[in-house]
Structure 1
Amino acid sequence: MSALASFLQKLEVKNSGLPVSALRNPDLEPIPHAKRQWAFWSFFAYYGLPNVSAATFSIGSALLSLGLNIKQSIGTIIVGNIVITLYTIMNSNPGFKYHIGYTLEQRMLFGIRGSVIGIIIRVGLSVVLYGYLSWLGALCLNLIFSSWSKSYMNMKNTFPESVPMTTRDCVAFLIFQLIQMPFSFVKPRKINTMGIVFCFMAMFSVIGILAYTVSTNGGPGPLYYKGQDLSANQRAWTWLLAITVWYSGMSPVIANQSDYSRYGSHNIKMQIGVALGVFITGTLAPVAGMFSASATEQLYGEPLWLPTDMALKWLQDGYTAKARCAVFFIGLSFTGTQLVVNMTQNGYACGMDLAGLFPKYINITRGTLFVQLISWVVQPWTFFNTTSAFLDSMTSFGIFTTPIMAINVIDFYIVRKGRVSITDLFTQDQNGAFWFYHGINFRALAALLVGIALGIPGLVFSVQTDLKPNAAMNNFYSGYTFFTVIVSGALYYILVLLFPIKQRVGISDEKDYFNAFSPEECRNLGMELYSESFDTEYLGLETGGAKSRVYGIGSQNHTPVSQRSSKSEAPVVVVETAAEKS
């Protein structure tokens, strides 16, 4: 046992003497004011990048396969962008106001122990999506290598036909995975500049592809003029499903919002950046993709949906200096886009979540390396075999994240009135605000499970086409973007009314124990500015003549003041005097 204890001790996260326990490490704490530097362009790029990625460029294939035409698909995208913007802004404030991420939000919603549920859901999605976007990144990287070498472009495929990938794609996938790994050691807040650069590069690439294909074809092509023969009832439900397809691809980003809104330096700039990032890029890329695919159908006899397929076609038709230069720029911009999107939304997100599950042993870097090493097991190359496979994967993501988003909005704004005790997020004390019943908030858990359960049958019917579908369940699945929000949100509020939360509802910390808030924020929150004297309270010493009770942080592994590396690092503590307790 002593050898095992020694081994585990060596595995513990090293944080220069800062407190680490079963519930806490520095990667989970509120972001200090000096490190919150994301403003308009950072949030514009954060939401612009997934919209101008290769996957979003090809989303039109999924929308048109539903039976809509291009004009109707554009309408669903615009409505979907409105929904995405509203959901994102509503889901931002726990992160922006209190500078905490998704992982701590789960403790706020489901309880200190129940938070494992929401965290595991996102860990699972992160692993799948990391592999998915890595494969797309490999296809983009192929463009760069193909523009350098004609031999690489024409590499002989050594895999049998039963394997749904080529040797060239496999090589690019392995290289792209290796390129991503060093970014595990980059702080998530520092990747914003790189994101802004690649966002605009990808926007120029999207515009260039659109201009070239339409001008070369002499018009938008046959898909643009294609009609549809849906009845009024079918069209209504198809519109709902199309909005859901568009929303669902962004739903993990919406759920993740607090992970990055906590880096925001100005609320209005963040909201404007989100709105414009969603609307400008979220309309430009899919519309350009549909017009370009329509033009390529007339040019090449079949529509090309992925920008990588279009660019490789240009090289194959003529390996000229002009074509190679254009393909290199397109490949570089989309490769960079895939890298930043994958790291921010899946790599770092999984790292943050695993740090919440195992704070003593995992930080963001270790958690990100974990998802990078196992993401290949989902076999992402199988996602691109058919349009239906792509559509099913896109529409299923939001089933699991939308209920969490709805519960979060109701809990933060209505139940807690926008006031959260951060210190209670790091305690297993039964009087803590987020202990609920044995560490689990069964109200939120019930609302989550009901929301997910109602969406599962529709997903099953969409995958198992040999089953006779239930019309009501199919319709719920088509519109779960709206229906799940209503069901899970309303059910959670009703359960709170029937079974009121008794622990410290609508209470925020009286003092800035984390040295995370600016003087202006402290004034607005009625919070006392950080003082070194708070370290004494953290150690549970007597203050002000009253015996203080300190909420634990999950273990007795408290770090004495003398061992702390910097006075700027504040303790996690709630001090409650005997008078306050009574």
Structure 2
Amino acid sequence: MSTYYVNTPRIQRFLHAFKSPMAFKQAMELSSSKSILINEDLAPSPPPRRTWTTWSYFAYWWSESWCVSTWAVGSSFIALGATLRDALLVVFFANLLSAVIIVANGRAASRYHIGYPVLARVSFGIYGQYFVIILRSIFGIIWAAINMYFTGRFISICLRCIFPSWVTLHNSIPATQGITIQAFIGYIIAFFATLPFVFVHTSKIMHLFTIKSIIMPLAGLGIVIWATTNTSTVDSGTFQETPPPSAPFLAWGIIAQFDSVIGINSALLVTVPDLARYSKTPNAQVWGQLFALPVAQTICGAFGILATAAVKNTYGTAYWNPYDLLEAILDHSYTSKARAGVFFASAAFAFATLGTSIACNFIPFAADVTSLLPKYINIIRGQILCLIVAFGIVPWKIVASADGFLAFINGYSIFQFPITAIMVVDYFLIRRGNMSIPDMYNLASSGRYYYYHGWNIRAFVAFVAGFALPMPGFIQSFGKSTGNAINRMYLLGWILSLLMGALTYYLGCLIWKVPGEEKHCPFESQVPGDGDEIDLFESASMAALEEEGFTMDHETTQPKGSE
């Protein structure tokens, strides 16, 4: 990028970019990209962008716990014959384990201020990183589309509350397309509702989750109060339409539910470095994440169970998904009071689903494509690209008819857990928290993370070992029976993937030492200070930070005009 694009106001740069193909190319190029390994969002986050405090992480995880999947998380377990207490205990401890893994996987990012793609270079190699980031980006873009569709469903309910004729609106879309005109209009609105948020950098997006952390618990509580005041009894036994199961059957049901809860969090377990890199202090991500997730998901799960039990006593049907529940309320009672309550609840869930998609899909995808095309894409551009591509995926086709594909994306945690295990073992046990930032951006074969032609073979062997045992059960989930033992290994998928990946990688590193392993150094004794990062930062992201109103010298970093 020429100095013209750095020193000229943004509106003038935007207009100038369309004067010629060469001008457009110059406008798209990032001056901060000095090689295929670096630009302003791949370099260590400078102090001005370390904005996430303990409260930011607490609000984020508290808010992310209030979503459609968490609301319905206790359904299958209670239907098997478990009590409300048992279901909530499973939810709590599964989320507590998730929180521990999240904190462990976020440690390196909070200390070195680098995101998932750069950390992947340390564990998987300078070129091996591309495999794991492509794997993550594919699922990110698919789930971004699906969540946009779910957001549109809630928006459609809001419109039904406003316009009585909404449900009778002429549907000109053929039934073969798998979507109604109401849902399609909601999807279009969801696209435009998401648009402003993709222009916000990850270092500034935490305010979205603060708002969500307040709105969603109030909306959930409102639904519970409404549901329980319209029935004389609330008992989770109302879901148990069959005799109590045998102890072995219930025990495997507990394992299946535990795996289900962990699966809900699987994307977050891998994504956390992209958030933890903006931690204001090394421990801000620890306390904010450790307590919010298990407590909030347990409360949200309890609200979902209580509300659904109450509604079943009233209407005779268990509506586990919030949008089905809210639609049912309007079907049975289209009064002004019901419409107002459902409108605000639907709006809250639409906002919550949008926030979940930003955190779990847009941010990870943007970080991944930034690493794939660092000369042209940064976090903001990556989020815009995610929104555009997701819009064209037609997710209602996936949700309506592709049962096998849905089974695949719901079970892909068996591929994510080995990656998480490898990165955690690599940081804590192999390198003892000591990594080399310059080598993360070094393409030379002498670089510490070049390994074998840019690939860490140990990591990929461990990756395969991680998903090998639950893989037959994963195949069985598509409808091909492979036996009861295989199915039970799949129910243990998260723990098998995690433990086998971790153990294989650790043993591989003991047998075949990784370059630069520093066992004699105390834990995290080589973490650089802010002054040590300054040269790398100045070469990669000075222009981007100056556009945001920051200046930097070797003594301090502060907004322009501040003292």
Q: If the TM-score is normalised by the length of the shorter chain, which range does it land in?
A: 0.7 to 0.9
Quick one: structure 1 residues 371 and 34, their matched pair in 2 at CA, closer, same or farther if it must change by over 3 Å? Answer: closer
The match for 1:235 is 250
In structure 1, what residue type is equivalent to 2:471? I
Say which of 410, 426, 450 aligns to 1:435: 450
- Tell whether the 8 Å contact from 1:66 to 1:242 is kept in structure 2 after alignment: no
The match for 1:149 is 163
Say which SS state the counterpart of residue 24 (structure 1) adopts. coil
Say which of 286, 294, 297 aligns to 1:282: 297
- Tell whether the 8 Å contact from 1:424 to 1:433 is kept in structure 2 after alignment: yes
Structure 2 residue 374 is matched with structure 1 residue 359: yes
What is the distance in 1 between the residues matched to 2:148 and 2:264? 16
The match for 1:340 is 355
The match for 1:47 is 61
- Tell whether the 8 Å contact from 2:77 to 2:253 is kept in structure 1 after alignment: no
In structure 2, what residue type is equivalent to 1:347? F
- Tell whether the 8 Å contact from 2:110 to 2:279 is kept in structure 1 after alignment: yes
The match for 1:183 is 197
What is the distance in 2 between the residues matched to 1:353 and 1:99? 16
1:216-267 Cα distance to aligned partner (Å, 9 max, x none): 1122256447275433333222211111111111110111111101111234
Quick one: structure 1 residues 247 and 8, their matched pair in 2 at CA, closer, same or farther if it must change by over 3 Å? Answer: farther
Structure 2 residue 153 is matched with structure 1 residue 135: no
The match for 1:381 is 396
Say which of 247, 269, 272 aligns to 1:257: 272
The match for 2:531 is 529
Distance apart, 1:109 and its partner CA: 1.0
In structure 2, what residue type is equivalent to 1:529? G
The match for 1:542 is none
Say which of 529, 541, 552 aligns to 1:568: 552
**Structure 1: unaligned runs, 5 residues or longer:** 1-5, 509-521, 540-552, 554-558, 560-564, 571-582
- Tell whether the 8 Å contact from 1:90 to 1:409 is kept in structure 2 after alignment: yes
TM-score by length of 2: 0.85
In structure 2, what residue type is equivalent to 1:10? K
Structure 2 residue 453 is matched with structure 1 residue 476: no
Which stretch has the larger CA shift, 102-111 or 72-81? Answer: 72-81
Say which SS state the counterpart of residue 381 (structure 2) adopts. helix
Say which of 387, 391, 397 aligns to 2:412: 397
Say which SS state the counterpart of residue 438 (structure 1) adopts. coil
Say which SS state the counterpart of residue 308 (structure 2) adopts. helix
Where in structure 2 are the equivalents of 1:1-400 lying within 5 Å? Answer: 10=25, 13-15=28-30, 17-64=31-78, 68=82, 70-221=84-235, 223-224=237-238, 226=240, 229-376=244-391, 379-382=394-397, 392=407, 395-400=410-415
Aligned residues: 525
Distance apart, 1:67 and its partner CA: 6.1
TM-score by length of 1: 0.82
1:164-203 Cα distance to aligned partner (Å, 9 max, x none): 3322111101220122123221111211112111221111
What is the distance in 1 between the residues matched to 2:110 and 2:95? 22
Say which SS state the counterpart of residue 324 (structure 1) adopts. helix
Distance apart, 1:393 and its partner CA: 5.8
Distance apart, 1:85 and its partner CA: 1.2
What is the distance in 1 between the residues matched to 2:265 and 2:484? 26
1:49-81 Cα distance to aligned partner (Å, 9 max, x none): 332112321233344466655443223212211
- Tell whether the 8 Å contact from 1:104 to 1:425 is kept in structure 2 after alignment: yes
Where in structure 2 are the equivalents of 1:510-525 lying within 5 Å? Answer: 525=527
Quick one: structure 1 residues 228 and 266, their matched pair in 2 at CA, closer, same or farther if it must change by over 3 Å? Answer: farther
The match for 1:573 is none
What is the distance in 1 between the residues matched to 2:118 and 2:553? 19
Structure 2 residue 491 is matched with structure 1 residue 491: no
Where in structure 2 are the equivalents of 1:421-432 lying within 5 Å? Answer: 421-432=436-447
Say which SS state the counterpart of residue 278 (structure 2) adopts. coil
What is the distance in 2 between the residues matched to 1:386 and 1:214? 35
What is the distance in 2 between the residues matched to 1:262 and 1:189? 9
* Identity, % of aligned positions: 24
In structure 1, what residue type is equivalent to 2:514? I
Say which SS state the counterpart of residue 477 (structure 2) adopts. helix
In structure 2, what residue type is equivalent to 1:350? F
What is the distance in 1 between the residues matched to 2:397 and 2:314? 28
Quick one: structure 1 residues 238 and 148, their matched pair in 2 at CA, closer, same or farther if it must change by over 3 Å? Answer: same
Which stretch has the larger CA shift, 498-507 or 94-103? Answer: 498-507
Distance apart, 1:566 and its partner CA: 8.6
What is the distance in 2 between the residues matched to 1:113 and 1:181? 33
What is the distance in 1 between the residues matched to 2:156 and 2:553? 46
What is the distance in 1 between the residues matched to 2:120 and 2:178? 38
Which stretch has the larger CA shift, 496-505 or 192-201? Answer: 496-505
The match for 2:464 is 449
Quick one: structure 1 residues 313 and 569, their matched pair in 2 at CA, closer, same or farther if it must change by over 3 Å? Answer: farther
What is the distance in 2 between the residues matched to 1:99 and 1:472? 43
In structure 2, what residue type is equivalent to 1:495? G
Say which SS state the counterpart of residue 28 (structure 1) adopts. coil
Distance apart, 1:121 and its partner CA: 0.9
In structure 1, what residue type is equivalent to 2:47? H
What is the distance in 2 between the residues matched to 1:531 and 1:79? 39
**Structure 2: unaligned runs, 5 residues or longer:** 1-20, 544-548, 555-563
Distance apart, 1:23 and its partner CA: 1.1
Say which SS state the counterpart of residue 26 (structure 1) adopts. coil
RMSD (Å) for aligned C-alpha atoms: 3.2
- Tell whether the 8 Å contact from 2:274 to 2:363 is kept in structure 1 after alignment: no
What is the distance in 1 between the residues matched to 2:189 and 2:433? 46
Distance apart, 1:110 and its partner CA: 0.5
The match for 1:574 is none
Distance apart, 1:102 and its partner CA: 0.8
Distance apart, 1:387 and its partner CA: 13
What is the distance in 1 between the residues matched to 2:244 and 2:359? 41
In structure 2, what residue type is equivalent to 1:129? W
What is the distance in 2 between the residues matched to 1:449 and 1:12? 42
The match for 1:576 is none
Which stretch has the larger CA shift, 226-235 or 121-130? Answer: 226-235
The match for 1:416 is 431
What is the distance in 2 between the residues matched to 1:531 and 1:112? 20
The match for 2:14 is none
What is the distance in 2 between the residues matched to 1:140 and 1:120? 31
Quick one: structure 1 residues 526 and 440, their matched pair in 2 at CA, closer, same or farther if it must change by over 3 Å? Answer: closer
In structure 1, what residue type is equivalent to 2:309? S
Distance apart, 1:495 and its partner CA: 0.7
- Tell whether the 8 Å contact from 1:399 to 1:452 is kept in structure 2 after alignment: yes
Quick one: structure 1 residues 531 and 126, their matched pair in 2 at CA, closer, same or farther if it must change by over 3 Å? Answer: closer
